[in-house]
Amino acid sequence: MHANIQVYKKSKYAKLFLIICALFIAGALSGLIVGVIYKKELIPDLYHGTYFAFLLIGTINFWLVWHSQEKTRHLVEWNENVVRFMLPDMHDLQTVNAYNIKSIDFNFNKIKLELNNLEVINFNLNYFYSPERTKIISFFERLHNKNSGTIRQYSE
Higher pLDDT, 71 or 98: 98
- pLDDT band, very low/low/confident/very high, at 137 (cuts 50, 70, 90): confident
CA neighbor of 58 nearest in space, from 35, 37, 32: 32
E strand or H helix at 130, and its extent? Answer: helix 130-147
Question: Looking at residues 83-107, what average pLDDT do you find?
Answer: 81
- pLDDT band, very low/low/confident/very high, at 74 (cuts 50, 70, 90): confident
User: According to the model, what pLDDT value does residue 46 have?
Assistant: 55
Q: How many CB atoms lie within 10 A of CB 51?
A: 19
Percent of the chain topping pLDDT 70: 78
pLDDT at 112 over 60: yes
Can you say how many angstroms the Cα of residue 151 is from the centroid of all Cα atoms in its chain? 29
Q: Residue 4's beta-bridge partner residues?
A: 77
User: According to the model, what pLDDT value does residue 84 have?
Assistant: 83
- pLDDT band, very low/low/confident/very high, at 6 (cuts 50, 70, 90): low
User: What is the radius of gyration, based on Cα positions, of the chain?
Assistant: 25
Euclidean distance between the first and the last CA atom of the chain, given in angstroms as a whole number: 32
Please name the residue ranges forming H helices in 13-154: 14-39, 49-70, 130-147
